[in-house]
Amino acid sequence: MMCNPFSAESPAVRRYTRGIAFTMSGYVLAVVGTSTYVHHHPHPHGAALYMISALPSLCIFAMLGVVVTYLRDEHDEYQRMLAVRSLLCAAFAVLAMGAYTDFLRTYGDFKGLPPFTDFVGFWIVFGVAQAVQSKSGQSDE
């Protein structure tokens, strides 16, 4: 039987799913709200700029906290290993993309990737890694 990292059997998975849905909703609301505010008011500066920028960032920190809580609470070692592997794949992809674009900026006339590319790329790679591992059903045991 193949393990499904998204099965609702584990209470840790149910908490993780609710937590990610909640924090991702908060992130979307924070980005939309702060972007709307900035586009309808003079561009903030000073302390206001730092506070407005912190709102969506706090949601990202909360999202990572949900992942850490899942890793702490999940009793199934195989499921934890799948999640850790997925996190490592996502971190590798974001670091590799950042290093590559840094060299493009250093050596050429590259302006950089659009805002939020790292965040979106991280979660896309995380999800793809989860799906690939789930389909392969491979384990190190």
pLDDT in tens, 90-118: 999 999 999 999 999 999 988 888 888 89
**What distance lies between CA 64 and its chain's CA centroid?**
7
pLDDT in tens, 63-91: 999 999 999 999 999 999 999 999 999 99
Same-domain status, 63 and 81: no
Same-domain status, 139 and 99: yes
- Closest by CA to 15, choosing from 55, 72, 81, 77, is 72
Same-domain status, 56 and 43: yes
Residue 137's contacts (CB-CB under 8 Å, 6 or more residues apart) are 2, 3
What pLDDT does 126 receive? 95
Same-domain status, 45 and 84: no
Tally of structural domains, the chain = 2
Cα(56)–Cα(58) distance, integer angstroms: 5
Does 130 map to a domain?
yes
> If pLDDT is split at 50, 70 and 90, which confidence band does 4 have?
low
The answer, yes or no, to whether residue 138 has pLDDT greater than 80, is: no
- Closest by CA to 18, choosing from 70, 76, 81, is 70
What pLDDT does 12 receive? 93
The answer, yes or no, to whether residue 2 has pLDDT greater than 50, is: no
Length of the chain: 141
Same-domain status, 37 and 85: no
The answer, yes or no, to whether residue 17 has pLDDT greater than 80, is: yes
The answer, yes or no, to whether residue 7 has pLDDT greater than 70, is: no
Q: Which domain holds residue 70?
A: 6-75
- Calculate the CA dihedral of residues 23, 79, 140, 92 and round it to 10 degrees: 0
Cα(78)–Cα(58) distance, integer angstroms: 30
Same-domain status, 100 and 44: no
What's the whole-model pTM score?
0.78
- Above pLDDT 90, what percent of the chain? 68
What pLDDT does 75 receive? 93
What pLDDT does 1 receive? 39
Assigned token pair, 101? 């674009």
> If pLDDT is split at 50, 70 and 90, which confidence band does 54 have?
very high
CA distances from 76 to 35, 47, 69, 90, 131 (A): 41, 45, 14, 21, 18
